[in-house]
Chain A
Amino acid sequence: MTRAQAVWVIYASLAGALLFTLLPLPMDWRGLRPDVAALALFYWVLALPHRVGVATAFTVGVAQDLIEGAPLGLSSPGLMLATLLLLFNYQRIRQFDLLQQSLAILVLMLISSGIEQWLRNGIAVPAAPWAGVAGIICSVLCWVPIRTILRHSRRYYEVY
Protein backbone atom coordinates (compact mmCIF):
# COMPACT_ATOMS: atom_id res chain seq x y z
CA MET A 1 0.00 0.00 0.00
CA THR A 2 2.66 2.48 -0.95
CA ARG A 3 0.70 4.05 -3.78
CA ALA A 4 -2.88 5.05 -4.17
CA GLN A 5 -4.43 2.76 -6.74
CA ALA A 6 -7.12 5.20 -7.85
CA VAL A 7 -9.86 2.60 -7.61
CA TRP A 8 -12.30 5.48 -7.29
CA VAL A 9 -11.92 6.08 -11.04
CA ILE A 10 -13.78 2.82 -11.67
CA TYR A 11 -16.71 3.77 -9.48
CA ALA A 12 -16.73 7.38 -10.71
CA SER A 13 -16.93 6.22 -14.32
CA LEU A 14 -19.73 3.77 -13.51
CA ALA A 15 -21.65 6.53 -11.70
CA GLY A 16 -21.07 8.87 -14.62
CA ALA A 17 -22.39 6.23 -17.00
CA LEU A 18 -25.51 5.87 -14.85
CA LEU A 19 -26.00 9.65 -14.95
CA PHE A 20 -25.98 9.40 -18.75
CA THR A 21 -29.18 7.37 -18.40
CA LEU A 22 -30.88 10.38 -16.83
CA LEU A 23 -30.32 12.69 -19.81
CA PRO A 24 -33.63 13.73 -21.35
CA LEU A 25 -34.77 12.17 -24.64
CA PRO A 26 -38.11 12.37 -26.46
CA MET A 27 -40.53 9.64 -25.35
CA ASP A 28 -40.24 7.57 -28.54
CA TRP A 29 -36.46 7.82 -28.81
CA ARG A 30 -35.67 6.41 -25.41
CA GLY A 31 -35.14 2.97 -26.92
CA LEU A 32 -32.13 4.23 -28.86
CA ARG A 33 -30.18 5.27 -25.78
CA PRO A 34 -26.97 3.22 -25.56
CA ASP A 35 -26.61 1.30 -22.31
CA VAL A 36 -23.44 3.11 -21.30
CA ALA A 37 -23.47 1.72 -17.76
CA ALA A 38 -23.30 -1.86 -19.04
CA LEU A 39 -20.53 -0.93 -21.50
CA ALA A 40 -18.47 0.73 -18.76
CA LEU A 41 -19.01 -2.30 -16.56
CA PHE A 42 -17.88 -4.67 -19.33
CA TYR A 43 -14.82 -2.53 -19.98
CA TRP A 44 -13.72 -2.64 -16.35
CA VAL A 45 -14.34 -6.38 -16.12
CA LEU A 46 -12.20 -6.83 -19.20
CA ALA A 47 -9.44 -4.54 -18.02
CA LEU A 48 -9.33 -5.29 -14.30
CA PRO A 49 -11.06 -8.61 -13.64
CA HIS A 50 -9.56 -8.78 -10.15
CA ARG A 51 -11.29 -5.53 -9.16
CA VAL A 52 -14.63 -5.58 -10.94
CA GLY A 53 -16.77 -8.66 -11.01
CA VAL A 54 -20.17 -10.09 -10.35
CA ALA A 55 -20.82 -8.05 -7.20
CA THR A 56 -20.21 -4.80 -9.08
CA ALA A 57 -22.51 -6.02 -11.85
CA PHE A 58 -25.17 -6.67 -9.22
CA THR A 59 -24.80 -3.13 -7.85
CA VAL A 60 -24.95 -1.53 -11.30
CA GLY A 61 -28.09 -3.54 -12.07
CA VAL A 62 -29.80 -2.48 -8.85
CA ALA A 63 -28.88 1.17 -9.52
CA GLN A 64 -30.38 0.88 -13.02
CA ASP A 65 -33.60 -0.56 -11.60
CA LEU A 66 -33.89 2.25 -9.09
CA ILE A 67 -33.30 4.86 -11.79
CA GLU A 68 -35.87 3.32 -14.10
CA GLY A 69 -38.41 2.71 -11.36
CA ALA A 70 -38.51 -0.98 -12.30
CA PRO A 71 -38.99 -3.79 -9.77
CA LEU A 72 -35.69 -4.40 -7.98
CA GLY A 73 -33.52 -7.16 -9.38
CA LEU A 74 -34.72 -6.91 -12.97
CA SER A 75 -31.46 -5.87 -14.64
CA SER A 76 -28.99 -7.53 -12.30
CA PRO A 77 -29.24 -11.23 -13.32
CA GLY A 78 -28.51 -10.46 -16.98
CA LEU A 79 -25.57 -8.21 -16.20
CA MET A 80 -24.22 -10.75 -13.69
CA LEU A 81 -24.36 -13.60 -16.19
CA ALA A 82 -22.75 -11.52 -18.92
CA THR A 83 -20.03 -10.48 -16.44
CA LEU A 84 -19.46 -14.11 -15.50
CA LEU A 85 -19.03 -15.06 -19.16
CA LEU A 86 -16.63 -12.17 -19.57
CA LEU A 87 -14.64 -13.30 -16.53
CA PHE A 88 -14.24 -16.77 -18.02
CA ASN A 89 -13.12 -15.38 -21.39
CA TYR A 90 -11.44 -12.06 -20.69
CA GLN A 91 -7.97 -13.19 -21.76
CA ARG A 92 -9.27 -14.26 -25.14
CA ILE A 93 -11.44 -11.17 -25.69
CA ARG A 94 -8.56 -8.85 -24.81
CA GLN A 95 -6.64 -10.21 -27.82
CA PHE A 96 -9.47 -9.44 -30.24
CA ASP A 97 -9.32 -6.47 -32.60
CA LEU A 98 -11.97 -3.77 -32.20
CA LEU A 99 -14.46 -5.31 -34.60
CA GLN A 100 -14.24 -8.71 -32.95
CA GLN A 101 -14.51 -7.09 -29.55
CA SER A 102 -17.63 -5.21 -30.63
CA LEU A 103 -19.15 -8.49 -31.76
CA ALA A 104 -18.29 -10.09 -28.43
CA ILE A 105 -19.96 -7.13 -26.69
CA LEU A 106 -22.98 -7.59 -28.96
CA VAL A 107 -23.30 -11.19 -27.78
CA LEU A 108 -22.95 -10.15 -24.12
CA MET A 109 -25.55 -7.40 -24.50
CA LEU A 110 -27.95 -9.79 -26.24
CA ILE A 111 -27.55 -12.25 -23.39
CA SER A 112 -28.03 -9.68 -20.64
CA SER A 113 -30.97 -7.91 -22.23
CA GLY A 114 -32.49 -11.21 -23.34
CA ILE A 115 -32.50 -12.38 -19.74
CA GLU A 116 -34.00 -9.08 -18.68
CA GLN A 117 -36.83 -9.32 -21.23
CA TRP A 118 -37.43 -12.91 -20.18
CA LEU A 119 -37.69 -11.87 -16.51
CA ARG A 120 -40.00 -9.02 -17.49
CA ASN A 121 -42.33 -11.51 -19.14
CA GLY A 122 -42.04 -13.69 -16.05
CA ILE A 123 -43.33 -11.00 -13.72
CA ALA A 124 -45.64 -9.26 -16.21
CA VAL A 125 -43.73 -6.00 -16.55
CA PRO A 126 -44.06 -4.54 -20.05
CA ALA A 127 -41.16 -5.44 -22.33
CA ALA A 128 -40.14 -3.75 -25.57
CA PRO A 129 -38.03 -6.30 -27.42
CA TRP A 130 -37.60 -4.22 -30.60
CA ALA A 131 -36.65 -1.06 -28.75
CA GLY A 132 -34.25 -3.31 -26.85
CA VAL A 133 -32.59 -4.52 -30.05
CA ALA A 134 -32.24 -0.93 -31.35
CA GLY A 135 -30.67 0.05 -28.03
CA ILE A 136 -28.24 -2.87 -28.22
CA ILE A 137 -27.13 -1.84 -31.72
CA CYS A 138 -26.54 1.73 -30.50
CA SER A 139 -24.66 0.35 -27.51
CA VAL A 140 -22.39 -1.80 -29.65
CA LEU A 141 -21.60 1.20 -31.85
CA CYS A 142 -20.61 3.07 -28.69
CA TRP A 143 -18.22 0.36 -27.51
CA VAL A 144 -15.14 1.72 -29.32
CA PRO A 145 -15.43 5.35 -28.08
CA ILE A 146 -16.24 4.26 -24.53
CA ARG A 147 -13.41 1.76 -24.50
CA THR A 148 -11.03 4.46 -25.71
CA ILE A 149 -12.15 7.02 -23.11
CA LEU A 150 -11.98 4.55 -20.24
CA ARG A 151 -8.65 3.15 -21.42
CA HIS A 152 -7.14 6.63 -21.44
CA SER A 153 -8.52 7.47 -18.02
CA ARG A 154 -7.30 4.11 -16.68
CA ARG A 155 -3.78 4.84 -17.89
CA TYR A 156 -3.87 8.48 -16.84
CA TYR A 157 -4.91 7.69 -13.27
CA GLU A 158 -2.88 4.47 -13.20
CA VAL A 159 -5.74 2.30 -12.05
CA TYR A 160 -4.69 -1.31 -11.66
Chain B
Amino acid sequence: MVLLLLCLAILFIFRDHPRMTTVQRGAVDVVAFTSNIVLAPFDAWDSLLDSVRSRTALQDEVLRLQQENRVLKGQAQRLASLLSENARYKALLNSARDIEDELIAAQISSVSPDPARHLVMLDKGAADGVEEGQPVLGAEGLIGQIVLVGEYNSRALLITDSAHALPVQVNRSGLRAIAEGSGDIDRLVIRHLAATTDIRAGDLLVTSGLGGRFPHGYPVARVTNVEIAAGDAFAVVSAAPASALDRGRHVLVVAQSSQFEGAIAP
Protein backbone atom coordinates (compact mmCIF):
# COMPACT_ATOMS: atom_id res chain seq x y z
CA MET B 1 0.00 0.00 0.00
CA VAL B 2 2.79 2.36 0.96
CA LEU B 3 4.71 1.40 -2.18
CA LEU B 4 1.62 1.92 -4.29
CA LEU B 5 1.13 5.40 -2.87
CA LEU B 6 4.83 6.05 -3.43
CA CYS B 7 4.46 5.08 -7.10
CA LEU B 8 1.47 7.34 -7.61
CA ALA B 9 3.18 10.19 -5.76
CA ILE B 10 6.28 9.85 -7.94
CA LEU B 11 4.15 9.69 -11.07
CA PHE B 12 1.81 12.56 -10.42
CA ILE B 13 3.70 14.92 -8.13
CA PHE B 14 7.44 14.36 -8.29
CA ARG B 15 7.76 13.34 -11.95
CA ASP B 16 10.11 16.19 -12.80
CA HIS B 17 11.71 16.50 -9.39
CA PRO B 18 15.49 17.01 -9.75
CA ARG B 19 16.19 13.91 -7.67
CA MET B 20 14.04 11.71 -9.95
CA THR B 21 15.81 13.12 -12.99
CA THR B 22 19.16 12.36 -11.37
CA VAL B 23 18.11 8.73 -10.92
CA GLN B 24 16.93 8.54 -14.52
CA ARG B 25 20.15 10.13 -15.79
CA GLY B 26 22.23 7.64 -13.84
CA ALA B 27 20.12 4.83 -15.26
CA VAL B 28 20.77 6.01 -18.83
CA ASP B 29 24.42 5.00 -18.55
CA VAL B 30 23.68 1.71 -16.77
CA VAL B 31 21.04 0.72 -19.32
CA ALA B 32 23.27 1.71 -22.23
CA PHE B 33 26.15 -0.28 -20.77
CA THR B 34 24.07 -3.45 -20.25
CA SER B 35 22.39 -3.16 -23.63
CA ASN B 36 25.81 -2.80 -25.25
CA ILE B 37 26.79 -6.07 -23.60
CA VAL B 38 23.57 -7.72 -24.81
CA LEU B 39 24.13 -6.30 -28.29
CA ALA B 40 27.83 -7.20 -28.45
CA PRO B 41 27.27 -10.56 -30.21
CA PHE B 42 25.10 -8.87 -32.86
CA ASP B 43 27.70 -6.17 -33.41
CA ALA B 44 30.45 -8.76 -33.60
CA TRP B 45 28.46 -10.62 -36.26
CA ASP B 46 28.01 -7.40 -38.24
CA SER B 47 31.69 -6.54 -38.10
CA LEU B 48 32.55 -10.11 -39.09
CA LEU B 49 30.33 -9.75 -42.17
CA ASP B 50 31.95 -6.38 -42.89
CA SER B 51 35.44 -7.78 -42.66
CA VAL B 52 34.78 -10.52 -45.22
CA ARG B 53 33.26 -8.21 -47.81
CA SER B 54 34.94 -8.59 -51.14
CA ARG B 55 37.67 -6.32 -52.40
CA THR B 56 35.71 -5.29 -55.47
CA ALA B 57 32.70 -4.24 -53.41
CA LEU B 58 34.95 -2.06 -51.28
CA GLN B 59 36.61 -0.58 -54.35
CA ASP B 60 33.21 0.22 -55.80
CA GLU B 61 32.21 1.92 -52.61
CA VAL B 62 35.41 3.98 -52.49
CA LEU B 63 34.79 5.06 -56.05
CA ARG B 64 31.20 6.00 -55.26
CA LEU B 65 32.21 7.95 -52.18
CA GLN B 66 34.96 9.76 -54.09
CA GLN B 67 32.47 10.84 -56.73
CA GLU B 68 29.99 11.92 -54.09
CA ASN B 69 32.75 13.82 -52.34
CA ARG B 70 33.67 15.61 -55.56
CA VAL B 71 30.08 16.62 -56.18
CA LEU B 72 29.68 17.85 -52.61
CA LYS B 73 32.94 19.80 -52.77
CA GLY B 74 31.75 21.42 -55.94
CA GLN B 75 28.54 22.46 -54.24
CA ALA B 76 30.45 23.65 -51.17
CA GLN B 77 32.50 26.02 -53.33
CA ARG B 78 29.36 27.86 -54.23
CA LEU B 79 28.16 27.65 -50.65
CA ALA B 80 31.17 29.56 -49.36
CA SER B 81 30.58 32.47 -51.67
CA LEU B 82 26.85 32.40 -50.97
CA LEU B 83 27.48 32.39 -47.22
CA SER B 84 29.74 35.40 -47.39
CA GLU B 85 27.29 37.16 -49.66
CA ASN B 86 24.50 36.36 -47.24
CA ALA B 87 26.59 37.61 -44.33
CA ARG B 88 27.18 40.89 -46.11
CA TYR B 89 23.48 41.35 -46.76
CA LYS B 90 22.70 40.53 -43.17
CA ALA B 91 25.29 43.03 -42.01
CA LEU B 92 23.59 45.60 -44.21
CA LEU B 93 20.30 44.75 -42.56
CA ASN B 94 21.90 44.99 -39.12
CA SER B 95 20.73 41.52 -38.10
CA ALA B 96 22.64 38.95 -36.08
CA ARG B 97 25.25 37.00 -38.02
CA ASP B 98 24.86 33.27 -38.38
CA ILE B 99 27.76 31.38 -36.92
CA GLU B 100 28.08 27.77 -37.99
CA ASP B 101 26.45 25.26 -35.69
CA GLU B 102 28.76 22.98 -33.75
CA LEU B 103 27.99 19.34 -34.40
CA ILE B 104 28.72 16.22 -32.35
CA ALA B 105 28.77 12.94 -34.28
CA ALA B 106 26.95 10.15 -32.41
CA GLN B 107 25.57 6.71 -33.06
CA ILE B 108 22.20 5.27 -32.17
CA SER B 109 23.08 2.35 -29.93
CA SER B 110 19.62 1.00 -29.13
CA VAL B 111 15.89 1.67 -29.31
CA SER B 112 13.63 1.82 -26.25
CA PRO B 113 11.61 -1.40 -25.89
CA ASP B 114 8.43 0.57 -25.20
CA PRO B 115 6.33 0.10 -28.38
CA ALA B 116 4.35 3.29 -27.79
CA ARG B 117 7.41 5.53 -27.79
CA HIS B 118 10.05 6.47 -30.32
CA LEU B 119 12.99 6.86 -27.98
CA VAL B 120 16.54 5.99 -28.96
CA MET B 121 19.80 5.76 -27.07
CA LEU B 122 22.80 7.72 -28.35
CA ASP B 123 26.38 6.87 -27.46
CA LYS B 124 27.39 10.42 -26.53
CA GLY B 125 26.58 12.14 -23.25
CA ALA B 126 27.30 15.08 -20.99
CA ALA B 127 31.04 14.31 -21.12
CA ASP B 128 30.97 14.97 -24.88
CA GLY B 129 28.99 18.19 -24.58
CA VAL B 130 25.50 16.85 -25.16
CA GLU B 131 22.75 18.69 -23.29
CA GLU B 132 19.02 18.26 -22.92
CA GLY B 133 17.00 20.00 -25.61
CA GLN B 134 19.63 19.83 -28.33
CA PRO B 135 18.36 18.91 -31.82
CA VAL B 136 19.46 15.64 -33.43
CA LEU B 137 20.07 15.46 -37.18
CA GLY B 138 19.99 12.42 -39.45
CA ALA B 139 21.51 12.15 -42.89
CA GLU B 140 18.78 14.15 -44.63
CA GLY B 141 17.23 16.24 -41.93
CA LEU B 142 16.08 16.70 -38.38
CA ILE B 143 15.15 13.49 -36.58
CA GLY B 144 14.58 14.44 -32.95
CA GLN B 145 15.87 16.05 -29.80
CA ILE B 146 17.78 15.03 -26.70
CA VAL B 147 15.54 14.44 -23.68
CA LEU B 148 17.72 12.77 -21.05
CA VAL B 149 21.48 13.00 -20.71
CA GLY B 150 23.73 10.59 -18.86
CA GLU B 151 27.45 11.01 -18.43
CA TYR B 152 28.42 9.02 -21.53
CA ASN B 153 25.07 8.27 -23.19
CA SER B 154 21.84 10.07 -23.82
CA ARG B 155 18.25 9.45 -24.86
CA ALA B 156 16.71 11.20 -27.83
CA LEU B 157 13.00 11.54 -28.63
CA LEU B 158 12.25 11.18 -32.34
CA ILE B 159 9.97 13.68 -34.08
CA THR B 160 7.43 10.95 -34.87
CA ASP B 161 6.77 10.12 -31.18
CA SER B 162 3.16 10.98 -30.48
CA ALA B 163 4.24 13.24 -27.59
CA HIS B 164 6.44 15.34 -29.87
CA ALA B 165 5.60 18.45 -31.86
CA LEU B 166 7.79 21.01 -33.53
CA PRO B 167 7.29 24.34 -35.29
CA VAL B 168 7.90 24.11 -39.04
CA GLN B 169 7.65 26.27 -42.09
CA VAL B 170 6.73 25.36 -45.64
CA ASN B 171 9.87 26.07 -47.62
CA ARG B 172 7.99 27.13 -50.74
CA SER B 173 5.51 29.56 -49.23
CA GLY B 174 6.91 30.41 -45.83
CA LEU B 175 3.69 29.22 -44.16
CA ARG B 176 4.19 28.33 -40.49
CA ALA B 177 2.66 25.29 -38.80
CA ILE B 178 3.15 22.74 -36.04
CA ALA B 179 4.16 19.22 -37.11
CA GLU B 180 3.11 16.61 -34.57
CA GLY B 181 4.39 13.08 -34.28
CA SER B 182 1.78 10.47 -35.18
CA GLY B 183 3.23 7.43 -33.42
CA ASP B 184 4.00 5.88 -36.83
CA ILE B 185 7.68 5.92 -37.69
CA ASP B 186 7.12 7.34 -41.19
CA ARG B 187 4.44 9.98 -40.65
CA LEU B 188 4.07 13.44 -39.16
CA VAL B 189 0.71 15.22 -38.96
CA ILE B 190 -0.18 18.88 -39.27
CA ARG B 191 -3.58 19.68 -37.86
CA HIS B 192 -5.39 23.00 -37.62
CA LEU B 193 -4.42 24.37 -41.01
CA ALA B 194 -7.30 26.23 -42.63
CA ALA B 195 -8.72 24.25 -45.55
CA THR B 196 -7.91 27.12 -47.88
CA THR B 197 -4.21 27.15 -46.99
CA ASP B 198 -1.66 26.93 -49.78
CA ILE B 199 0.06 23.60 -49.07
CA ARG B 200 0.58 20.77 -51.53
CA ALA B 201 1.95 17.25 -51.58
CA GLY B 202 5.68 17.46 -52.22
CA ASP B 203 6.25 20.64 -50.22
CA LEU B 204 9.36 20.59 -48.04
CA LEU B 205 8.90 21.44 -44.37
CA VAL B 206 11.87 23.04 -42.62
CA THR B 207 12.29 24.05 -38.98
CA SER B 208 10.99 27.57 -38.53
CA GLY B 209 13.14 28.47 -35.55
CA LEU B 210 10.12 29.65 -33.57
CA GLY B 211 9.96 28.38 -30.01
CA GLY B 212 13.70 28.66 -29.54
CA ARG B 213 14.40 24.93 -29.50
CA PHE B 214 15.33 24.03 -33.08
CA PRO B 215 17.50 26.33 -35.16
CA HIS B 216 15.97 27.70 -38.33
CA GLY B 217 16.30 25.98 -41.69
CA TYR B 218 16.85 22.26 -41.14
CA PRO B 219 14.70 20.06 -43.40
CA VAL B 220 12.15 18.05 -41.40
CA ALA B 221 9.71 16.33 -43.72
CA ARG B 222 8.03 16.31 -47.10
CA VAL B 223 4.27 16.66 -47.39
CA THR B 224 2.78 13.42 -48.72
CA ASN B 225 -0.94 14.00 -48.49
CA VAL B 226 -3.33 16.88 -47.95
CA GLU B 227 -6.77 15.77 -46.92
CA ILE B 228 -9.61 18.24 -47.06
CA ALA B 229 -12.97 16.76 -46.22
CA ALA B 230 -15.88 18.71 -47.67
CA GLY B 231 -17.32 21.00 -45.03
CA ASP B 232 -14.37 20.78 -42.65
CA ALA B 233 -12.70 23.96 -41.54
CA PHE B 234 -9.28 22.35 -41.25
CA ALA B 235 -7.12 20.27 -43.55
CA VAL B 236 -5.27 17.23 -42.26
CA VAL B 237 -1.77 17.21 -43.71
CA SER B 238 0.50 14.16 -43.55
CA ALA B 239 4.23 14.39 -44.09
CA ALA B 240 7.04 11.85 -44.30
CA PRO B 241 10.23 12.61 -42.34
CA ALA B 242 13.07 13.69 -44.63
CA SER B 243 15.47 11.33 -42.92
CA ALA B 244 14.38 7.69 -42.61
CA LEU B 245 14.08 7.38 -38.84
CA ASP B 246 14.25 3.60 -38.61
CA ARG B 247 17.33 3.29 -40.81
CA GLY B 248 20.90 4.38 -40.33
CA ARG B 249 22.76 4.66 -37.07
CA HIS B 250 24.86 7.76 -37.52
CA VAL B 251 23.40 11.02 -36.30
CA LEU B 252 24.62 14.51 -35.47
CA VAL B 253 23.76 16.41 -32.31
CA VAL B 254 23.66 20.18 -32.78
CA ALA B 255 25.70 21.11 -29.74
CA GLN B 256 25.85 24.81 -30.05
CA SER B 257 23.43 26.75 -32.07
CA SER B 258 24.45 30.34 -32.53
CA GLN B 259 20.84 31.35 -33.00
CA PHE B 260 19.62 30.55 -29.53
CA GLU B 261 22.18 31.07 -26.84
CA GLY B 262 19.57 31.12 -24.12
CA ALA B 263 17.48 28.13 -25.19
CA ILE B 264 15.72 26.56 -22.25
CA ALA B 265 16.18 22.88 -21.42
CA PRO B 266 12.95 20.81 -21.16
Contacts and interface: CB of A to CB of B under 8 A. Distances in A.
Say if A and B assemble together. Answer: yes
Contacts of B111: 24-25, 27, 30
Interface string A27-62: 110110100000000000000000000110010010
Interface residues of A, number: 41
Contact of A123 (B15, B118, B119, B246): B15
Contact of B38 (A22, A28, A68, A80): A22
Closest 10 CB pairs of A and B: A128-B116, A31-B115, A66-B27, A73-B7, A73-B10, A131-B115, A68-B114, A30-B115, A126-B162, A22-B35
Contact of B11 (A27, A119, A127): A119
A144 interface: no
A76 interface: yes
Nearest to B163: A126
Nearest to B245: A27
Contacts of B38: 19, 22-23
A69 B114 contact: yes
A146 B174 CA distance: 57
Given A30-B114, A120-B116, A69 B39 contact: no
Given A24-B42, A54-B3, A66-B27, A128 B110 contact: no
B10 A69 contact: no
A24 B7 contact: no
A23 B41 CA distance: 11
B23 interface: yes
B4 interface: yes
A74 interface: yes
